[in-house]
Amino acid sequence: MKQIESRHWIFGGLFVIVIITMVLNINLEVRVTPETDRFYACLDSLPAGATVIVSFDHEASSLPEIRPLALAVLRHAFSRDLKLVGTALLAEGTAVGYRLMTQTADEYGKTYGEDYVYLGFKPQYIAAILSMGESIPDTYPEDYLGQPYRDYEMLVDVENYDDIAAVISIADGSLTTHWIEYGASRYNIRIVAAVTAAMMTTYDPYLASGQLYAMFGGLRGATEYEQLIGIGGSGKRGMLAQSAAHVYVMVLIIAGNIIYFRTRRRKGSAS
Amino acid sequence: MDWSVIIAGLLTLAIFSFLYRDNPVYKMAESLLIGVSIGYFLVITWSNTLMDLLFVPLVQDAKWPLVLPLALGLMMFGRFHKRTASLSRIPIAILIGSGAGVAIPAMLEARTLRQITATVGPLLSESGQPDWSVIVVLTGVITTLAYFYFSREHKGVLGGVAKGGTYFLMIFFGTTFGYTVMSRMSTLIGRVEFLLSDFVRLAQ
């Protein structure tokens, strides 16, 4: 049988720490950063009835991180009575996005076709973004359920980006970049993004230059947003586990460095 | 309990089993994930792309200009045989040409001009005080560019400036690494939350 190595202890320790902190279920208050606040203010300032595109630009593998972000944004949007048009530029995000939208809509008693519509997946994301700038009904003649676009009352006046208040890109990769480069640059549409933590530094330059209007991300971002809308979710529940896991990693890094330098000194004195 | 939750819980545990060692249970779960992903992608591509955008409009609505993309698409398969391989160059040329035509103006605007405009700001604020954020950004950009300037040996002033650039790069890599660790932890926390709340119902 294979021997238990140090990495098994490290992974095992992390697993135990996360489980214990999750079972404790202590809510950790976090300070809301200006970036998350700006995203919140952007949605909050839109008038009720304004149409917003929610683009699920992610794959299924990032769902644990994407779900709290998406739920927080969708809850805020539905509570503000915004009209949501869902779309997905990656195939795997299609079903995930539809599920999240319908689940949140049910929470707020929203009706499909009146308060929100899910247009579904469109291949070739650059072409899709550019095509929507010319005509959304030509890009999506039918919605995800196969109903003609023109059948929906809420979409009658929605022809292109001129009729859209903002685009919310919920992404785990570089898709938001394309929204910025082809949507914002060319059609002047306001882009806001909810992204995974790993993608935050990628979008920071766009945020600094103002090409990306607002952005928040990661489990921490979700927790901040949940705090702003006053609804607890998995972001808030996971925050203690996140912090404990980070402390665990830092302790391991420090311990690793101490062991390394002690070993080096011992080898040096031996020779 | 919902069967889908039981299956998802067992598959999550199967994936976690890799932390100890590679094993057949993990391999089965991994293969299932890849198979389902590819299957889903194929179905979506078939229905949303080939059927909706090509075959249905072409056959039902008699949109004959669509024969052109169909022909170009079929030419791609020419690569599978030596004698027809050159045919595939035509659609590839069109694809690259149109792609570059669309991308170059957008990239130039969004990635170059707008980012340069945002980088070069007044060093003094309206009150006459130094604007430190602009100074730091400008210093970072200049020193980092100096680091990536390989036409001259990094000696003397250039060497010193380039060394400054490495510190900015290290800060960037450190931040990115920190965020990536945070992202991976979030994924783990998400799955543990699912196991605890939905699968074993220990935490609600």
- Report ipTM for this prediction: 0.84
Q: Please give the residue that has the higher pLDDT: either B203 or B30.
A: B30
Q: Which of B37, B103, B183 sits opposite A218 (nearest CB)?
A: B183
Q: Which of B106, B172, B185 sits opposite A186 (nearest CB)?
A: B106
Residues 6+ apart with CB under 8 A from B185: A18, A219, A241, A242, A245, A246
**Per-residue model confidence (pLDDT) at position A30:** 85
Query: Are residues A69 and A194 in contact, defined by beta-carbon separation less than 8 angstroms?
Result: yes
Contacts of A65 in chain B (CB under 8 A): 183, 186-187, 190
Structure tokens that stand for B119 in this block: 């980088």
Residue of A nearest to B37 (CA): A92
- d(C-alpha A211, C-alpha A124), whole Å: 22
Residues 6+ apart with CB under 8 A from B9: B194, B195, B198, B199, B200
Confidence of residue B202 (pLDDT cuts 50, 70, 90): confident
Q: Please give the residue that has the higher pLDDT: either A260 or B21.
A: A260
Q: What is the pLDDT of residues A133-159, one digit of tens each?
A: 999 999 998 999 989 999 999 999 999
CB contact under 8 A, A196 and B183: yes
CB contact under 8 A, B110 and A130: no
Contacts of B53 in chain A (CB under 8 A): 123
Q: What is the pLDDT of residues B79-116, one digit of tens each?
A: 999 999 999 999 999 999 999 999 999 889 999 999 99
Sign of the dihedral defined by the CA atoms of residues A214, A219, A224, A229, in that order? positive
Structure tokens that stand for A76 in this block: 């805020």
CB contact under 8 A, A242 and B189: yes
Span B11-37, mean pLDDT? 92
What mean pLDDT is reported for chain B? 91
Instruction: Kindly report which listed range (A24-33, B173-182, B185-194) carries the lowest average pLDDT score.
Output: A24-33
Q: What is the pLDDT of residues A95-106, one digit of tens each?
A: 999 999 999 999
Q: Please give the residue that has the higher pLDDT: either B137 or A232.
A: B137
CB contact under 8 A, B203 and A25: yes
A168 DSSP β-pair partners: A54, A192
Q: How far is B156 from chain A, CA to nearest CA, in Å?
A: 30
Residue A271 has pLDDT above 90, yes or no: no
A165, A194, A164, A168: which is closest to A179 by C-alpha? A168
Residue A1 has pLDDT above 60, yes or no: no
Q: What is the pLDDT of residues B118-135, one digit of tens each?
A: 888 888 888 889 989 899
Residues 6+ apart with CB under 8 A from A127: none
End-to-end distance of chain B based on CA atoms, in angstroms? Answer: 15
CB contact under 8 A, A197 and B103: no
Residue A2 has pLDDT above 70, yes or no: no
**Per-residue model confidence (pLDDT) at position B203:** 64
Residue A50 has pLDDT above 70, yes or no: yes
| Backbone phi and psi for residue A43, each to the nearest 5 degrees, phi listed first | -70, -40
A215 DSSP β-pair partners: A193
3-state secondary structure of B130: strand
Structure tokens that stand for B127 in this block: 């009150």
**Per-residue model confidence (pLDDT) at position B157:** 93
Q: Please give the residue that has the higher pLDDT: either A167 or A2.
A: A167
- d(C-alpha A89, C-alpha A96), whole Å: 12
Query: Are residues A187 and A114 in contact, defined by beta-carbon separation less than 8 angstroms?
Result: no
Q: Give the DSSP letter string of chain A.
A: -PPPPHHHHHHHHHHHHHHHHHHHTPPPP-PPPHHHHHHHHHHHHSPTT-EEEEEEE--GGGHHHHHHHHHHHHHHHHHTT-EEEEEESSHHHHHHHHHHHHHHHHHTT--BTTTEEEEEE-SSHHHHHHHHHH-HHHH-SB-TTS-BGGG-GGGTT--SGGG-SEEEEEESSTHHHHIIIIIIHHH---EEEEE-GGGHHHHHHHHHHTSS-EEEEHHHHHHHHHHHHT---HHHHHHHHHHHHHHHHHHHHHHHHHHHHHHHHHHHHH-
Q: How far is B152 from chain A, CA to nearest CA, in Å?
A: 28
Q: What is the pLDDT of residues A65-116, one digit of tens each?
A: 999 999 999 999 999 999 999 999 998 889 999 999 999 999 999 999 999 9
**Per-residue model confidence (pLDDT) at position A105:** 96
Structure tokens that stand for B3 in this block: 């069967």
Among residues of chain B, what percentage have pLDDT more than 90? 66
Q: Which of B102, B181, B192 sits opposite A22 (nearest CB)?
A: B192
**Per-residue model confidence (pLDDT) at position A24:** 82
3-state secondary structure of B196: helix
